[in-house]
Structure 1
Amino acid sequence: MKKFIGTAITAGALLVGSVSWTADVHAEQLQDVKNEQAQVQDNLSDTESDIANVMQKLDKLTDRIKSTSEAQDKNKQKMKETKAKISETEDDIDRINDDVSALKDKIAKRKKVLSDRLVSLQENGGDISYLQVIFGSKNFQDMINRLSAVSKIADSDKEMMERQETDKAELQENKDAKKEELSDLKDMKVEIKGMSETIEAQKEQNENDKEKLKKKKEHLNSMKNDLENKDESLAAVEKELTDHSNSSDVSGGTDNSNQSAASASSSKASSSDAGTSHTANQTSGSTVSSAIQAGYSQTGTPYVTAGKGPSGFDCSGFVSWAYGQAGVSLPSSTAALQSVGSKVSLSNAQRGDLVFFDTYKTNGHVGIYLGNNKFLGAQSSGGVGVANMNNSYWENHFKGHVRSVQ
């Protein structure tokens, strides 16, 4: 009889030890899954932050490409105007050359006129000489008349010669000015051509950079999808392990012996008390958890201006909707949200607090704080997702405004 009792006790001890060992293994596996899931979620947050950075760079590149295209259009117009000016100036120079030719003809004609006048004053022919004209007069009156005529001819000759020199000087001055203008225009044409080539090279580089960023975005989105799938798989494994652990606790607490039943009853009561205490401690955070869980369920939902969900959100509409799913009524505009609850510092911020960013205006963007400088929100690039406040964009726009809604 004593031997039987001893064997029963030993068997009972082995059974209890087996149950305890199995529970420990499940607990360890569950913790490993939770740790891996936390790492996956961190990686997912970093990937979403990288996607946001790529989207910002793409927006800047798009603006830069637009600017270079506009600059190239202006450059082409300037080139067109310069070419027209060059053609016009070359025509002007051709006209001046024609005028020079015409002036030479006039000079030749003037010389003939002078020659004819002097010859007409010669009575007996011979060399054209003013002295011969004067001394060849028949009488004093004839000499006076001849002197008057010679004076008039001399004055006329002088006037013609001066006009000729003036015309020549003006034409030469005009021609020199046009040549200088033509040289400047040709230099400008070369400069515009060089500028056009530079702009085209910049545009091509920007297009190449844009293509690289697009490929990087596609790669990051693929990584994001893989991480989300892995996160869902780990969540399913965690649930299975948790359910199995709970099931093991219940079966391990059932025994035919009064002592085992009492022990199981005591253990169950202890577990129940602990669970009640844990629930009581988490009551204040249950609303926040529900709001964040609801927010996570909308990951990837596109950003829509004035969107209140669930097909599309803007930042304030998303915050209002997420808390609405947890039974908390919040306004759906940043202007109203910036005054809800109480203001706290970032160092004292808790999960579920609202963080604001000065984007297009003061407190123009809002999200739900997750801890570790991360927040969940509807971003204009990428839609609903997790963003990192250490990211240069958010860091530059965060001015310390945090509101606690509890």
Structure 2
Amino acid sequence: MKKVIGTAITAGAVLVGSVCLTDTVHAEQMQDVQEERAQVQNNLSDAEAEIADVMAELEELNEKVDSTNEALDKNKQKMNETEEEITQTEDEVAGIEEDVQVLEEKIVERKEVLKERIVSLQENGGNISYLEVIFGSKSFSNMISRMSAVSKIADSDKKLMEQQEADKAELQEKKDDRQDKLSGLQDMKVELEGMNETIVAQKEQNEADKEELKKKKQNLNDMKAELEDKDSSLASIEEELSERRDQSNGGSSDNSNAVASASSSNSSSADSSDDGDLKQLSDNTDKGSGQYSSAIDAGFTQTGTPYVTAGKGPGGFDCSGFVSWAFGQAGVSIPSSTSALQSVGSKVSLSNAQPGDLVFFDTYKTNGHVGIYLGDNKFLGAQSSTGVDVADMNSTYWSKNFSGHVRRVQ
């Protein structure tokens, strides 16, 4: 979320105003600054509230990620157990098939026994039927003996056949039971695999959402830093306007004397002004800002100095405060706010930019961040995340936010 800052305060209206401005003009300028500052502070509150919301969403996503990880672990454990049970059941089915083979062998053996018994009977009584066994008896006792043998053989055959059928039925039932179990386990495995794919997809989506929220949080933090920088700059402007108003009211008895005094001492007034004063360098108009190597050299001495909101001194800088300080070390007085700096000197294209030119970026607002161009698409500036450092305009963040606005101090 990037709030658009409302009313822009132009450099001439804020920092070049002369001592002849009326109380009404001062009041209007002060009102404009205060209104813009109020809007900035509202945007700051919105940014902080959204950062809090993002933090809450991140916490919720972390819980979801943990939950999906736990679900994946449980699902994996269940899959492993199911696969083990499938293997065990397959082994049982294989064992039953072996039992069937053993039973078939026993059946063959039983048939052989029956065959041997019949052969034995035939050897004793010939190839004869049941009646022939009776009527072929040599004596009554022989007949009884033959009938008993036939009866025993018949009973034995019946029992063997019944046992055979019972064994077959038992094995078939056992096999069917294991096959049903195996089929159920295989269906469960398919279902678990589908669940695993769904959980993995949820996890990936949660991770992707988490990365997006992290980027959003970083952008919000960057915007917050820029808004804090803007608020501090507006506070400085507000203070300068208050000082100018006091000077205007107490420095002269009438406006005509103030105008005459300002006209006769223009050069000395510019040299003695603080970092917020606007000074056009007429002596260097044709030389271009590329010659300000001393400003760049001074800037490099502060590499690593932390970013400090509204910082204007060596102990800490904001972006515009650093640029103003560096040029001040080269004897060049320029404003210390981005609102004023975006109008200083003359505008040039990036293709014609020289070391020492000012480059601007659209951060919390149009031209909300400024740095000193070094050449080769590099610039030196006070960055909210790294302090005074060299940044690459080709990087994703800076290339996206580069406004195309370049000023040559003259």
Q: TM-score range by the shorter chain?
A: 0.5 to 0.7
SS in structure 2 at match of 1:94: helix
Change (3 A) 1:139 1:40: same
Q: 2:83 is matched with which residue? A: 83
The question of whether the paired residues in 1 share the 8 Å contact of 2:89 and 2:181 is answered with yes
TM-score by length of 2: 0.55
Alpha-carbon displacement from aligned partner over 1:176-208 (angstroms, at most 9, x marks no partner):
121121111111111111111111111111111
The question of whether the paired residues in 2 share the 8 Å contact of 1:122 and 1:128 is answered with yes
The question of whether the paired residues in 2 share the 8 Å contact of 1:33 and 1:238 is answered with yes
Q: 2:190 is matched with which residue? A: 190
Q: 2:179 is matched with which residue? A: 179
Tell me whether 169-178 or 119-128 shows the greater mean CA deviation.
119-128
Q: In the alignment, residue 167 of structure 2 is paired with which amino acid?
A: D
The question of whether the paired residues in 2 share the 8 Å contact of 1:37 and 1:234 is answered with yes
The question of whether the paired residues in 1 share the 8 Å contact of 2:90 and 2:182 is answered with yes
Q: 1:143 is matched with which residue? A: 143
Alpha-carbon displacement from aligned partner over 1:249-270 (angstroms, at most 9, x marks no partner):
334579xxxxxxxxxxxxxxxx
TM-score by length of 1: 0.55
Alpha-carbon displacement from aligned partner over 1:92-121 (angstroms, at most 9, x marks no partner):
111111111111110111111122223223
Aligned pairs, number: 239
The percent identity for this pair of structures is 61
Q: 2:105 is matched with which residue? A: 105
Alpha-carbon displacement from aligned partner over 1:34-61 (angstroms, at most 9, x marks no partner):
1110000000101111111111111111
Alpha-carbon displacement from aligned partner over 1:228-247 (angstroms, at most 9, x marks no partner):
01111111111222233233
The question of whether the paired residues in 2 share the 8 Å contact of 1:121 and 1:133 is answered with no
Q: 2:250 is matched with which residue? A: 250
CA distance in 1, matches of 2:170, 2:158: 18
RMSD after superposition: 2.4
Q: 1:360 is matched with which residue? A: none
Deviation for aligned residue 1:82: 1.2
SS in structure 1 at match of 2:22: helix
Greater relative contact order (Cα < 8 A, sep 6+)? 2
SS in structure 2 at match of 1:122: helix
Q: 2:230 is matched with which residue? A: 230
Q: 1:221 is matched with which residue? A: 221
Deviation for aligned residue 1:138: 2.1
Deviation for aligned residue 1:70: 0.9
Structure 2: gaps (5+ residues): 1-17, 255-308, 310-410
Q: 2:168 is matched with which residue? A: 168
Q: In the alignment, residue 164 of structure 2 is paired with which amino acid?
A: Q
Q: 2:24 is matched with which residue? A: 24
Change (3 A) 1:132 1:119: farther
Matches within 5 A, 1:65-80: 65-80=65-80
Q: In the alignment, residue 240 of structure 2 is paired with which amino acid?
A: E
Change (3 A) 1:244 1:20: closer
CA distance in 2, matches of 1:27, 1:45: 27
* Residue 209 (structure 2) pairs with residue 203 (structure 1): no
The question of whether the paired residues in 1 share the 8 Å contact of 2:125 and 2:133 is answered with no
Q: In the alignment, residue 68 of structure 2 is paired with which amino acid?
A: T
SS in structure 1 at match of 2:138: coil
Alpha-carbon displacement from aligned partner over 1:130-165 (angstroms, at most 9, x marks no partner):
333333322112222222232222222211111100
Deviation for aligned residue 1:84: 1.1
Alpha-carbon displacement from aligned partner over 1:336-394 (angstroms, at most 9, x marks no partner):
xxxxxxxxxxxxxxxxxxxxxxxxxxxxxxxxxxxxxxxxxxxxxxxxxxxxxxxxxxx
CA distance in 1, matches of 2:51, 2:22: 43
Q: In the alignment, residue 207 of structure 1 is paired with which amino acid?
A: E
